[in-house]
Structure 1
Amino acid sequence: MAVVSFVGALKDKYCPEEVPPDTLKSRIKESAIYMAPGVGCPLERRRSVVLDACNVSSVGEGLEGLCPLVEELHLSSNQLSDWSNITAILHSLPRLVFLDLARNPLSANQIAEPMTLCTHLQTLVLNHTHTTWSALDTILTVATNLKELHIAHNGYSTVSLSPTVCHHSLRRLQIQCNSISQWSELHKLSPAFPLLHTLIACDNPLSSVTHSDVSVFPELTVLGLNNTLLSDWTSLEHLAQLSKLSELNVLRVPVAEAVNDDKKRRFPIIARIPCLSKLNKSVISDTEREEAERWLLREYEDQPHPPALYAHYLAKHGMVARLADVDLSPRKFVQLEFHFKKDRKKITKSVKMNQTVSELRQWVAEVLLGDASAKVRLLYVDCMGWEGRQVLSLSGRKLHSYREMRDGDQVHVQLLP
């Protein structure tokens, strides 16, 4: 596929008829026929342009004033490698607020020439570009109103922003799917983005969270740590130092996955981070919060080193009685009485509860009647009178689903012709 310019790709998609470059802009203003197929909007009035995977490698001639109202530009999976092209695009699209440059080979190039101030850009996507930290320094210096930055899949193992960077507009940073293993590296983002609201750091090999000063991330409200390697509850306890944290996502992390019960998997986190209002996208109710606090009191009642909030919860709830350990799982075997109407005999046998009605019929025919080909009808009689009499007719139904079969219940066997 031949490489093309941004202007060329723009004309090919949105102005399919061949038009001389020197008359393109005037012709667009004169006629409404130069529209992208199915789009129905002249280029001069377009607010969104999508040129993903068009093999764009340069800007080309004549971009200035060509589509002055464009606010959203998608250029992912192209061949843009020179930052001067990006600078030219930003300069020529004065209303651009969203720019997606994902999967462009920008890794080997620095920003050689000064970039002009770019106050209109609000969202920048640089995933899979391996953009250097020095290039990000420059971008953040000129994109003074940038609110959202995506830098996932860039192979970062450290955060190397210049200490002079202090960006007061950025609210959301997505740095997931990199190689950051130390919480201290994420700490470096706090002075650079003092008003950061959302930090998505999922799918990084982060193994622990060290004690965090309350001045770190003073405005951080949403934190995403799914698919990290957090392996101890103390790390999650340290997140309580983030004073405004209200929403935390920690799905598929080792410390929580070790707990089999879904409900109890939430309790240790909720109890350790009392400021949370949402955990893993689910709202934390007042009832769930109280249950979590009481769970922590029971869990650490006899432990020499309970979590920091143990004393606070003890003062709030007092001593909490331990819950009785009741096994509510279905019984594996039950002693049933099998009654045979024909010869009026009764046999008591131990029966597996995880088998189906069909399997029980076959067992009765083979073992109790000695005739595997015999066809039988089974009538279950609940000795407590709760279920009454019922024909076991659903072949695929498990026996333990019949409320609860108990020792002494009866099964009346009838031979069918």
Structure 2
Amino acid sequence: MWDCWSSCGEEAGGGSRSFTEALREKYSSDNYPYCCPAVSAPWPVPDSPHREWLIVPPILGLSGCGVAWAGQQVGIKEFCNHVTELDISHNILNDWHEVSSIVRHIPQLDFLNLSGNPFGQSPITSVNFPQMLRRLVLNNTDADWTTVRTLLHSLPRLEELFLCFNNYKEVPLHPTLAYSSSSASSSSTSSSSSSSNPTHSQSTLDSFHSWQSSVPSGSQSGGTQSLDTKHSKHTDGAGLEFQCTAALEHAGAQSVNISDPNTSSPVHSDLLQNEHLVSDVSVQDPNTAICSFVNIKLLHITYNHLAAWDEICHLGLLFPCLERLVLANNPLQGISGYKEKLAKTFPRLQYLNLQNTALGEWSDIERLTALPALTDLRLLGIPLLKAHSATERRKLSIARLPCVRSLNGSWIFPEEREDAERFFLRHYMDTDPALLPPRYFELLAHYGQLQQLADIDLRPQEHAEVSVRCDDKVSSCFVRLNQTVTELRRELRTVCTLPSGALRLFHVVREDNMIWHPEEMRVGTRQLHSFGIRDGDEILVQRKGK
């Protein structure tokens, strides 16, 4: 059997190999002579005259091994049956069928990393992935949204999805939905009912809103369900497939009854909110399906090209049960839309990462207060905060976000929140009332009118005006307190006309017409501030030997 696998690798050439070849080369028992069975599991080669053994751990890593295809299926099934995590990133896999041939024989697979494989626009019709898969990493694969949807439909338990470095500029809800950017050209050929009625899209979305408000927030479903008022069907998958088959009349859309065909109970999901979230959406086909994948709890979509907030709202519609969303390093320009609609788009979002985005207005941050479950927020590296000091950034942000309990990874304690809110009130105290943020009036009602704090400078004094007494001669001069005694002697030799080595210096404290016992300044390397010299003190200079 191993001979058959080796011949496949030789025919491919160019350093590429099958998954089974890479598995044998890396996890051969020859490479692990002292392997502990409690850590990794040995598996004999079936039907092999040599009875080779592989030490295959449950967390299997074959990153950068030149894997291009699956290889013999029986080998994968025998050796990887116990594997729970598989990393085959940065290989040369470009066919989804080959990936499916690998992972379908790993029934306990919980984590799959496919990052860095050149899938590009590789066609995908159907895949056979293990049903236990909960975490999928597709970073830097250029997988388009059609591919992502197909994968999600085959993964009913998927909870964490990573889509970084995929050059996404938009998040299409459905291929047959027309967006405002392309609606101008398509509106001329659309039906007369939609073109003559400007409230057509709004009425359709309002009907979804009226349904959503009647659905309990806690109900959800774990599969893909095609919801239709006439033709309900159930298929295995990872989302809720909503089919709107109610006839769209000239005056608008009729209400749509959406429920779970198995239980006849309403299914929770957040669909299109209104025209403020999805601009000029027109449903061209009454049987159009809008997919919503309710099992996804975590989405990493960093280092893409998402600049419009409408596209971020589409993520909320596709994944209505998101709890953690990482949008760092996207050129996001602002956060728009009404707070009520924002709350319905992300009803369960607890963690939001907006680091290194292009947010430039405090109003963008204030709109985040509409998210009902948000408690953890990351805002480092946005242009809005660059004009403020580190202390001001944190305090001004905390004061605007009353429900956030953790900011930039640091817990917000009640004492810090109160201090930040009081700082916020004083910061805007002298601002034009027409320009005051709404949060100012909320805090003003809570704390009342505050007074400005006294400006106390606790920095160490750098200079002091002292009297220099040498014999009967007294002169006033400024001395630097960060210099040493030796440096002061050099400065005073011009005043006393004596060499610096012949001078003895004494620090005399004068306070309330009283003279304290003089302290001789003996150590030449000691700095003056350590003597506690203040304005009005006296430096007594004597010649050595007196």
Same fold per TM (> 0.5)? yes
Residue 337 (structure 2) pairs with residue 337 (structure 1): no
Query: 1:39: which partner in 2?
Result: none
Structure 1's 63 and 349: CA in aligned 2 closer, same or farther, altered over 3 A?
same
Q: 1:25 aligns with which of 19, 23, 46?
A: 46
Paired residues of 2:507 and 2:540 also in contact (CA < 8 A): yes
Q: How well do the aligned residues superpose, as a CA RMSD in angstroms?
A: 3.3
Paired residues of 1:337 and 1:410 also in contact (CA < 8 A): yes
Paired residues of 2:108 and 2:130 also in contact (CA < 8 A): no
Distance 2:518 2:47 in 1: 88
Larger Rg: 2
Paired residues of 1:52 and 1:76 also in contact (CA < 8 A): yes
Query: 1:34: which partner in 2?
Result: 53
Paired residues of 1:270 and 1:292 also in contact (CA < 8 A): yes
Query: 1:224: which partner in 2?
Result: 353
1:192-220, CA deviations, whole angstroms, 9 ceiling, x for partnerless residues?
Answer: 11111111111112232223421121000
Distance 2:422 2:437 in 1: 13
Query: 1:191: which partner in 2?
Result: 317
3-state DSSP of counterpart to 1:248: strand
Aligned AA for 1:78? Answer: N
Query: 1:322: which partner in 2?
Result: 452
TM-score normalised per structure 1: 0.83
Structure 1 residues not aligned, in runs of 5+: 36-41
Q: 2:374 aligns with which of 245, 248, 262?
A: 245
Structure 1's 390 and 293: CA in aligned 2 closer, same or farther, altered over 3 A?
farther
Structure 1's 338 and 241: CA in aligned 2 closer, same or farther, altered over 3 A?
same
Query: 2:87: which partner in 1?
Result: 74
5 Å matches for 1:292-331?
Answer: 292-301=420-429, 302-303=431-432, 304-331=434-461
Distance 1:392 1:270 in 2: 52
3-state DSSP of counterpart to 2:161: strand
Distance 1:410 1:346 in 2: 10
Query: 2:300: which partner in 1?
Result: 174
Q: Which stretch shifts more, 361-370 or 208-217?
A: 361-370
Q: CA deviation at 1:148?
A: 0.9
Q: CA deviation at 1:238?
A: 0.7
Paired residues of 2:83 and 2:109 also in contact (CA < 8 A): yes
Structure 2 residues not aligned, in runs of 5+: 1-13, 32-43, 175-288
Paired residues of 2:19 and 2:70 also in contact (CA < 8 A): yes
Distance 2:351 2:104 in 1: 33
3-state DSSP of counterpart to 1:309: helix
Q: Which stretch shifts more, 265-274 or 102-111?
A: 102-111
3-state DSSP of counterpart to 1:208: coil
1:257-297, CA deviations, whole angstroms, 9 ceiling, x for partnerless residues?
Answer: 2112x332212211111111111111111112122222232
Q: Which stretch shifts more, 230-239 or 204-213?
A: 204-213
Distance 2:517 2:53 in 1: 76
Paired residues of 1:365 and 1:375 also in contact (CA < 8 A): no
Number of residue pairs matched?
396
Aligned AA for 2:67? Answer: V
TM-score normalised per structure 2: 0.65
Query: 2:384: which partner in 1?
Result: 255
Q: Which stretch shifts more, 69-78 or 381-390?
A: 381-390
5 Å matches for 1:42-61?
Answer: 42-43=55-56, 46-61=57-72
Aligned AA for 2:53? Answer: Y
Paired residues of 2:103 and 2:129 also in contact (CA < 8 A): no
Q: CA deviation at 1:378?
A: 5.7
Q: Which stretch shifts more, 388-397 or 215-224?
A: 388-397
Residue 160 (structure 2) pairs with residue 148 (structure 1): yes
Distance 1:283 1:98 in 2: 30
Distance 1:386 1:266 in 2: 47
3-state DSSP of counterpart to 2:76: coil
